[in-house]
Structure 1
Amino acid sequence: MALKGEWARADAISVLRDFCSKEDLDWPQIARRHNFDLSVLDDPKGIVPITVLDGVFETVAEELGDDARMFDLFHRIETGRFSIFDYLFACAPSLREGCKAWEKFLPIRTNAYSMIFRETETGGCIEWVVPEGSGKWQQNMFARIAWASRQIELALDVQAPPILIEMACRAPHGTSDFLRKYQGRIRFNAPHYSISFPKALLARPLQRNDSHLYEIIYKAALEELKSFGQMESPLSRVANEVASNLSNGACTLPKISARLGMSQRAVQRLLEKEGTSFRKLSEAIRRSAAERYLRSTDLPMKEIAYLLGFSELSTFSRAVKIWFGVSPRKVRDGPSRHMPVKGGIQGTLKTPKSM
């Protein structure tokens, strides 16, 4: 259920191209296959559709014949390759403030997914809320997690900080230095993509913190946020909010509207303008999430039902049968391809007009 107008900065592909410069990769062919102009990779503010970004990462992993390579490629990245976004974290007063900056300023990197920082009594967690139904994005997330882990290491000046990494997919077939480094602290088949920290680390001063420099960086980031904020997809905002609230009982029109700072009628009008409704959007997202959990993880059926907001396993099973025409078990055991849709759920979304 990828939405037209969902974009990401193209420099992540540029990094991938540069790191794989010694590999026998045909980048003009990759660009043709995914329908993007290679010149965008050299534009500091270049963007590509999120489906292009995800697709390129999957293609490169296939071409390299190594489904764990992204971890090592992006764990090599030093601070600054992604410009302001990197320095917002590296120069923050503390790990807590750095994570808050990632959450606030992710819209200068993409409008297709979000980052959420949460604190508990025992620690903190930064979570990536990724788009449902936009195709395969595991390789992109392998890169994101490895990059973020590296930035945390550099900011704390600790080679292997006591973090816990969770990945909402099966483990890759291959191995890597990154996976060996964090062996025992990476959990695959998790409900979310996230990195958690013990509470003691949250207030820890970061090595590069400079209050004057950080003020300059923060102001520059606010200006960039204004620029990229004009490219926001309103439907993506609603969809991301729905996706991040499936399991907590907050996936209702009144609660989602409140979280967006909009009236219920305003949300309804926005969705009507795009040819859909809150019910159709919620069901389409829930269906996409069901397919992802069933096909990309080994999570128990009861846990998947809970994550999707179903109070009973039987209700979840009936919904899957309506969506795909088969039981949850058959979806999981079926061939690795996109499932056909029963009842016309997919395609209910009219995509936003091009930016």
Structure 2
Amino acid sequence: MGYVTSLFARKMVTAAGDTIDGAAHLRDVGIDPDAPWDPKAMIPAATYYDMLERIAAEVDVTDLPVRTGASMRLDEYGALGLAFKAATTLGASYARVERYARLWTSVVEYELRSDAHGTLFVLHRPGERRLGMRLSNEATLAGAVSIARQVSPVPVVPLEVLVRHPAPATIAAHEKWFGCPVRFGAELDGILFSRETLAQPNILGDVGISRYLVSQLDKELSEIADEPSLVAQTKSAIAQALSEGTPKMAEIARDLGLSARSFHRRLSEHGMSFQTLTEETRRDLAEGLLRDNGHSLAEIAFLTGFAEQSSFTRAFKRWVGVTPASYRKRHARL
């Protein structure tokens, strides 16, 4: 399962305003609402989508992605935000996103693609087009324009915005924000820019600073290269320990040959927490066992580390939005 920066979740909750209990939504996905905002702190993408769908059940989210995207600020993105500013042209800025977006997310890739009418900035995000993903994609496209407007000396207006999923009830807020046609039900998710727009020099473009920041980004990228291995080992160890109850970080660290302090530091360097990985492992294991039909609900509760079936039911409904019994029944029909 992929990850996204916790910054995206915080931005969505903030844009939703006082109509929701933002702190509760953040805690539900493992984010301390009182902690400093850290773009390197990651949460599972599916957990993020779940949160967006819970918000959508409470309030009208038609223009929430647009408001979220409009609130994006380059200063909140660390070295990648600075490198976007320091690139010499807007096209070079987007090239930085294409190359280093892995620092923000492991579920999205970006591509600059030549088009007969200009250049497409394409968003690639595989997976089911569930509501949470659709909202996230819309916010990502709006955010891509927002950060462009922060570095360009002239107004940035795309030629067209393309969105793969069907349109919401109204797209007035979308077209007002982008300042161009927004075509839903398209063949891809992306933004079409004129070549002249991407050739515009950036306000703070600087070759020397840009070169330095790129070296820093290369370093950051290399530091997360071992993440899948660490995550896979940790989740495997957690899964094996769950039948004895909720595992403790010190015990898992010992199983992996690490001190608790070193283990915590290595997870933190990748923007992850032991709590988040434990929750994700429990959820993945529960969903797999429920689809298998070989275990009773009480057995699945035990195998996923819960002392009581009622506790498992409450946790599973928080993760997925339905009870374990409903989830099993739904997948039995597929």
Q: Is the pair's TM-score, using the shorter chain for normalization, greater than 0.5?
A: yes
Q: Please report how far the alpha carbon of residue 95 of structure 1 lies from its aligned counterpart in structure 2 after TM superposition.
A: 2.2
Higher mean displacement: 46-55 or 212-221: 212-221
Q: Could you say which structure has the larger radius of gyration?
A: 2
**CA distance in structure 1 between the partners assigned to 2:29 and 2:147 by the alignment:** 31
Q: Please report how far the alpha carbon of residue 221 of structure 1 lies from its aligned counterpart in structure 2 after TM superposition.
A: 1.2
**CA distance in structure 2 between the partners assigned to 1:121 and 1:178 by the alignment:** 24
Q: Please report how far the alpha carbon of residue 26 of structure 1 lies from its aligned counterpart in structure 2 after TM superposition.
A: 2.0
Pick the aligned partner of 1:36 from 27, 30, 38.
30
Pick the aligned partner of 2:122 from 82, 107, 127.
127
**CA distance in structure 1 between the partners assigned to 2:54 and 2:129 by the alignment:** 15
**CA distance in structure 2 between the partners assigned to 1:158 and 1:212 by the alignment:** 23
Q: Which amino acid aligns with 2:188?
A: H
**CA distance in structure 2 between the partners assigned to 1:177 and 1:65 by the alignment:** 13
**2:150 — aligned with what?**
154
**CA distance in structure 1 between the partners assigned to 2:31 and 2:158 by the alignment:** 41
- Report the CA distance shift for 1:228/1:41 in structure 2 as closer, same or farther (over 3 A): farther
Give 5+ residue unaligned stretches, structure 2.
230-328
**CA distance in structure 1 between the partners assigned to 2:129 and 2:54 by the alignment:** 15
Q: Please report how far the alpha carbon of residue 165 of structure 1 lies from its aligned counterpart in structure 2 after TM superposition.
A: 0.8
Q: CA RMSD in A?
A: 3.1
**1:97 — aligned with what?**
92
For the 8 Å contact 1:73–1:143, the answer to whether it is kept is yes
**CA distance in structure 1 between the partners assigned to 2:129 and 2:171 by the alignment:** 26
**CA distance in structure 1 between the partners assigned to 2:33 and 2:25 by the alignment:** 13
Residues 1:208 and 2:239 are matched in the alignment: no
- Report the CA distance shift for 1:82/1:139 in structure 2 as closer, same or farther (over 3 A): same
TM-score (norm 2): 0.62
Q: Which amino acid aligns with 2:8?
A: A
- Report the CA distance shift for 1:183/1:123 in structure 2 as closer, same or farther (over 3 A): closer
Bigger RCO (CA 8 Å, 6+ sep): 1
**CA distance in structure 1 between the partners assigned to 2:80 and 2:8 by the alignment:** 13
Pick the aligned partner of 1:166 from 162, 168, 171.
162
Q: Which amino acid aligns with 2:51?
A: V
- Report the CA distance shift for 1:339/1:199 in structure 2 as closer, same or farther (over 3 A): farther
**CA distance in structure 1 between the partners assigned to 2:163 and 2:153 by the alignment:** 24
Cα deviations by residue, 1:57-107 (Å, 9 ceiling, x for unpaired): 333344232322220232133331222222222221122221211111011
Identity across the alignment (%)? 15
**1:195 — aligned with what?**
191
Pick the aligned partner of 2:113 from 118, 129, 138.
118
**CA distance in structure 1 between the partners assigned to 2:156 and 2:20 by the alignment:** 32
- Report the CA distance shift for 1:160/1:120 in structure 2 as closer, same or farther (over 3 A): closer
Cα deviations by residue, 1:260-283 (Å, 9 ceiling, x for unpaired): xxxxxxxxxxxxxxxxxxxxxxxx
Aligned length: 236
